[in-house]
Amino acid sequence: MSNIAVKRIHCDVRELNRNPSRQYSAAPLEDNLFEWHFTLRGPQGSDFQGGLYHGRILLPPQWPMKPPSIMFLNASGRFEVGKKVCLSATSFHPEHWQPAWGIRTILEALVAFFPTPADGALGALQWRPDERRKLALESQTWRCPCCGPIAELVEGGADERVLADGETASAAFDAPVLPWDEGRAAAPAAAPAPAAAAPAAAPAADDAVREVVPPTPDPAPAAPAAPAAEETKSEPAAAEEAKAPEPAVAPADESLKVHVELNGVQVYFKIKRTTRMQKVFSALATRQGVDVTSLRVAFRGARVGGLDTADIVGLRDGDRLDAEVIEPEPEPAPPVAPPPPARDAAPATPVPADLLIVDSLIAVVSVALVAVVAHKYLAA
């Protein structure tokens, strides 16, 4: 059992507990951290609306470097029961997996896949809409042998009205791009500024990338001297104060300040959580005067794709990305054709066989005539 895998599983548990969703829930088994059970609500506006679907996520020992296996345990009319599902974020497609993805990413991808057509994928079904709606009603009372009634595992139970606007994923999932920023509610408009105030600059778009000045650390203020009469704190209390607070997860519309290091130079950018990383790559390439196709960017050792968003990569305020320029391989020189051979004298035309036979007969007749003449001369 890898320590890295166990630490990552604990991080996934804390992240889901810190930011629970009414759309889904998941937790590992008490006796096996590598087996998770999850419960999903059917997407609103689809044949699965009102349904509760329960399944298993089997994490490999190399988690999160390798993708998990997923299977559903109750009927939905979309996925087969007890059979591994073939999706882009599962073990069927390890070439599309990114270690930055976690349990929440997998759950949102599963919800987004429900209203999409099966298209003959492994473990996928294409049942009639009336059958799917019937199974959705029956799923509300389904009971897992390990977890109990699944209606008690999600907030609000079988009542689908607890879902807020924009909390259900409805976009198709296209690997390696996750539907992370689809279907979210628009951010509230800012209040108009007073007439006396100076006109403010127009707000940037959600996916705008702006280069910012590197932050300058402020000098740490001198700690005031503790009064002599102050009581000495107990060791448990001092240990609690020594713990650093866990960083809060920024909302979807909050800006993040990240910096990218390329050849020893750090460039700072201000982006949104829903910003595609390809915009950051383009801004960095323009800033450094390099070809964007030659850039390779990584975050914590994992390569970052251009179609990933900052939320999918797992970026937080102040994180650093490492970039490098990959030199293109030189194209091989075309093969040189060998020079044509020198032309010699034209070869002699071959003598036909019938002419050779005639010449041979003439020679034989001539020899015979000479022999006859010589015989007569000697006899005389």
pLDDT of amino acid 263: 77
Q: Do both 298 and 155 map to the same domain?
A: no
Question: The domain that contains 39 carries what CATH number?
Answer: 3.10.110.10
Q: What is the mean pLDDT of the chain?
A: 74
Residues linked to residue 205 through DSSP beta bridges, in sequence order: none
Q: Do both 263 and 148 map to the same domain?
A: no
From 140, 162, 184, give the residue that closes a domain: 162
pLDDT of amino acid 230: 42
Rounded-to-10 torsion of CA 300, 305, 309, 314 = -20
Q: Do both 15 and 146 map to the same domain?
A: yes
pTM over 0.85: no
Q: At what angle do helices 103-113 and 3-18 cross, to 10 degrees?
A: 60
Q: How far apart are CA 24 and CA 107, in angstroms?
A: 7
Q: Do both 13 and 157 map to the same domain?
A: yes
- Give a yes or no: residue 149 inside a domain: yes
pLDDT of 233 over the 60 cut: no
Q: Do both 143 and 13 map to the same domain?
A: yes
Q: At residue 13, what are phi and psi to the nearest 5 degrees?
A: -65, -45
Catalytic pick among 86, 144, 146, 147: 86
Stretch among 28-42, 202-216, 251-265, 356-370 having the lowest mean pLDDT: 202-216
* 43 backbone φψ class: left, alpha, beta (φ>0; ψ -120 to 50): beta
From 285, 307, 325, give the residue that closes a domain: 325
Average pLDDT over residues 103-113: 91
Q: Quote the percentage of the chain above a pLDDT of 90.
A: 29
Domain region containing 310: 255-325
Count of structural domains, the chain: 2
pLDDT of amino acid 78: 92
pLDDT of amino acid 248: 46
pLDDT of 48 over the 90 cut: yes
CA nearest neighbour of 257 among 291, 210, 191: 210
Per-residue model confidence as pLDDT tens digits over 265-280: 777 878 887 777 778 8
Q: Do both 262 and 157 map to the same domain?
A: no
The answer to whether residue 86 is catalytic is yes
Q: Do both 18 and 128 map to the same domain?
A: yes
Residue 75, SS3? coil
Helices (H), 24-170: 103-113, 129-139
Per-residue model confidence as pLDDT tens digits over 243-260: 544 444 445 557 778 878
145, 268, 315 from 257: Cα distances, Å? 46, 7, 9
Q: How far apart are CA 300 and CA 351, in angstroms?
A: 84
Residue 56 pLDDT level (bands cut at 50, 70, 90): very high
Helices (H), 293-352: 310-313
Residue 139 pLDDT level (bands cut at 50, 70, 90): very high
Stretch among 32-36, 63-67, 183-187 having the lowest mean pLDDT: 183-187
